[in-house]
Each structure stands twice: as C-alpha cells, then as structure tokens.
Amino acid sequence: MAELLSSPVNPAFALLIAGFLMALLPDWRQRKFVALAAPLVALWLWMQVSVFGSYGGIHIAAIGLDLQPFRFDGLSRIWALIFIIAAFINAIYSLHERDRVQDAMAAIYGGSAMGAVFAGDLLSLFVFWELTAITSVFLIWRAGTAASRKAGMRYLVMHVGSGVLLLAGAVLLHSQTGSWAFEHIGLETGLAGWLLFLGFGIKAAFPLLHSWLQDAYPKATISGTVVLSSFTTKMAVYALARGFAGEDILIYIGMIMTAFPVFFAVIENDLRRVLSFSVNNQLGFMVVGIGIGTTLGINGAAAHAFADVIFKGLLFMSVGAVMLRTGTAKATELGGLFRSMPFSAFFCLIGAAAISAFPLFSAFVSKSLILAAVADEGHWFVFGVLIFASAGVLEHAGIKIPYFAFFAHDSKKRPKEAPWNMLLAMGIAAFLCIFLGVNYGWFYSLLPYPVIYEPYTFVHIVGQMQLLLAAIFAFGLLIRIGLYPPEVRMTILDVDWLWRKPLKHLALWLNAISDRLFAAVENAIDSKIQNAGRSLTALLSPQGAFARIVPGGVLTGWAAAFLLIALFIAYLAKS
C-alpha cells in the first residue's frame, strides 16, 4: 500500500501540467497565456519551500520501494531556478509562433528537466530523464525538413540509449546497496557506477559522445534550438555534480571538452552550429569544476551552468532572430545586418561579452570560480588549457557570431527588426547577463555552498583584460592579413561520421548477409521436409511400399488397436 506523505508542491508540476493543458487547448492565445503563467507559478512554488529536505516521499511497503520525487537542497535549488527563468524567457521568445505541439512539448520538456533535478531517487530520475528525450525531439522534428527528421531520430536513439544505461546502472546499484537513493555514486561502485557515468556522459556531450548536439540543435526550429540549449546538457551536469563530484577523470574529460570545439567552431559556417560547439566548450568548464570536487569547484560549476543558460540562450536567440528575418544562419550569406536590426545586434554583443567573461558580465564572476578551484588544487596544465579555451571562446562566440552576422562584409540584406517578443526576451536575458556580473553577491548566495571569493581583484581584472585584448588583437590581425579561416560552404566531419557512414554500410552489409543466410537455411529445411514427406507418402500411402508388403487386414487391426489405446488413455484421464 502506497503511503503518500504531505508536502509542498513540486514546482516541476506547474510546467508539466501546463504542457499537457496546452496540448488540449485549441486557441493559441490560451496556450500562450498558459505558457507564460506556468513558469511564474513554478517560481511561486519554488519560493514557498523555505527548508531543505525531501517532500512528498512515496513508500510502497509491499515491495520495499521508497521514492523521493521532490528533494529540495542547495544543489537542486539553483538548477531549478535557472530552469524556471529559462522557461519564462523561452515562452516570451516564441509568442509569435502558433505551433501547439511545439508549445506543449517545450513546457513538458522544461518540467521534466526540473523534475530530474528534484529527483531524490534513481527511478524518479529515470522517468524524467527519458521524458526529456521523448519531448525534446519534437522541437527538432517540427522544423519539418528531411534533415531534421533524420537528425531527430539519431538524437532520440542517443538519448533513449542514455536512459537505458541509467536504468541498468540503477538496477545494478540497487542490487549492491539495496537502495534507490540518488546520492554520490562514484566509480568505485564498479559496473553500476560506470553505466550511470556513461549514461550521464551522453547527455553531457562527453568527447566522442557529443556529436548528437551539433547534429540536432542547428536543425531544430528557431525557438526549439533556444529551448534545447537550456535544459538537457545542464540537467546532465547536475547529475554529474550529484553523483560523481570529485572524480579525477572528469577533470581531464572536461579539459578536452573545453579545447576541441574551438577548432571546429572557428572554421564552421553555420552560426547555429558554431554555438552548438560553444555549448560543448562551456560544458567543459563545468565538468572540470565537478571533477575538482571541492566546494569552490562545485559552486563554480553551478554558477557557470546558471550563467550559461542565459548568455548562450541570448546568443541562440539573436541568431534565431536573424534566421527568422533572412532565412539563413550561414555566415557566408550574412553581414551588415546591424543597419536594419540594430537591437538584435546590440543584444548579441551583450551575449558575446558575457560568454567571453568581460568584467561586469556574468561569466566573469562564474568562470573565475572554476579557474580558482583548478589553481587551488595545483592542476597547472589543466589551468593552461582552460585559459587557451577561454581565449578561443572570444574568437568563435564573442567575436565570430556578432561579427559575421551583423558586421563583416555587407550582404546587402535589409530585413526588418526581430518581432517585439523576441526583442523582449533578448532584452531580459541581456539584463540578467549584466545583473549577475555586477550583483555577484546575490548570485553567489544562490550557490550550494557558502562562497568566500572576490572576483573583482586587480590581478584578476588586469589578467582577464590582457587575455581578451590579446585575443581581439589576434582576430583583427588574422582578418587583416587574410590568415583567418575563411567562411566557406562546406560540411565539417565529426566523429558521428564513423557510424553514419562506415558503420551504416557495415550494418546494411551484415543485414543483407543475414537475410541470405536465413533464406538458405530456410530453403534447406523446406527441402528436407519435402523429401521426408515424399518418402513417407511412398511408404505409407495406399499405393505405397508398406501397403504392398503388409496385408490390408493387418493394417486395419493395427489401426483398431491404436484407437483402443487412445480411448483407454482418455478414460483414465477423466476418471
């Protein structure tokens, strides 16, 4: 018998219920009202929880199952808040659209990500984990192109596979510990820990598992890409912080994640794909902080995840506005748009300054926590790679995105400014990018652990400005002398090429071989059966050999004897 404990209402339910309601509402005005109201209700519910703890626990005594769908603590609190803010901004950004499926799926997707953050047990986590995959894929498919349908299917395979690994690891861990609780797991738990680690790593876009992100995000709808950038990967970072904080391997995985996307992003022509590589880059900083595992490192990962949702969303929104008005996000087809889209250009520059960690902007006070944690632990090689990656961020996201979209060569396009709702959403995000950088004391108060750190020191400001100015100078010099990689129409191969091409052909070949093998075996069996049938016919038919040798009366006697035996057995069975 299930015992449901009284509790505050889980804020995730506001978005989940709103999503299902929007799927039923026929009028777009009603749907948009619900989309805007749901995050505000979720925020109110979030503010009602004043004491950390687990609420609404479900205990099923018959099978010894304890579920904790709502755990509110320092770690889940900040992640839930940024998901609420993202849901509200995203709802404003998509007000001009009239897509019921996209509206509903975006709300359920955001609620599922929040539900995963609040989950105190691995079974609840699994349910919300898979629900994010099932709902988010519609944001890709609704683009309605052949490329989006194929990318969506590949995306779904990867994310459902992530959930399967999560469930397998949870079952194994329960067999070892007798508990479903989602606490620190660690790789020392053996196969169970590695399965969960890999499941989390797929959604966090670990190296070699990352290409679903660059494959799917640029092919989603304009608003869908903004929504996608807000939830899945940040949810995975939360899961790593909860389950694998302090694992040294994460330091080096994160280090690689910060560095390799820089090279791809510099030569990429599709600006939405550039930002998708930038997602990998910023995730790397968070993963390094989790790998460090100190309170400063975890605080840095949480702060940077919070800031990244806003400034990366702002950049995706500005590129989305350009795509809405021009029909493209290709750098080779853009430029000079600041003349007719000045507000979009201005907001894009704010996002670029924020992601580049200029002083007074959000990443300056969030990324510095991670760098300080790395330095405190003496990982100087990792520190050097992160500094290089920070300069790379300025090159590909801080400069390339606004430069090639709004400035650079004049494309002669003079589209209208973005719709008012898009500008409002970008304006709110731009305000938060500055607010968090200036009011860092309030920002730090949201973090899981108390913070004793001052980002605005002379050394830090001067050092960061030297790095940024050097990167700006290098970009300008390379552009001037013609050595900066030119923007050309091309397809950049990533690791997914291995399973989309060679492995695909291998699978098709194995399928063809297996079909032929099964057909040959089936034909051989049919031939044997037919030969046996002909032999029995030749032996037992009225004209067969047995009939010619044995007199007919004898055969009749044998038949009668077998009939009597059958009747006797039937009689015994009923008696």
Q: Supply 310's token pair.
A: 């806003």
CB atoms within 10 A of CB 20: 12
Answer for the pair 418, 341: CB distance below 8 angstroms, yes or no. Answer: yes
- Mapped onto helix, strand or coil, the DSSP state of residue 7 is coil
pLDDT reported for residue 3: 40
Q: How far apart are CA 18 and CA 34, in angstroms?
A: 6
pLDDT reported for residue 1: 33
pLDDT in tens, 236-292: 999 999 999 999 999 999 999 999 888 888 888 899 999 999 999 999 999 999 999
Answer for the pair 443, 455: CB distance below 8 angstroms, yes or no. Answer: no
CB atoms within 10 A of CB 161: 15
Answer for the pair 137, 218: CB distance below 8 angstroms, yes or no. Answer: no
Residue tagged 């979030």 (tokens): 46
| DSSP one-letter string for 468-510 | HHHHHHHHHHHHHHT-SPP--------TTHHHHTHHHHHHHHH
Q: How far apart are CA 265 and CA 309, in angstroms?
A: 19
In the chain, how long is the greatest CA-to-CA distance? 117
pLDDT reported for residue 411: 85
Q: How far apart are CA 528 and CA 549, in angstroms?
A: 26
**Average pLDDT of each block of 10 consecutive residues along the chain (575 residues)?**
58 96 93 96 94 84 77 96 97 95 96 96 95 96 93 93 95 92 94 96 92 92 96 96 96 94 84 93 96 96 97 96 94 90 96 94 95 94 93 84 88 92 97 96 95 91 88 78 64 62 63 71 72 61 54 55 58 52
pLDDT reported for residue 8: 87
Helix or strand run (H / E) with residue 459? helix 458-481
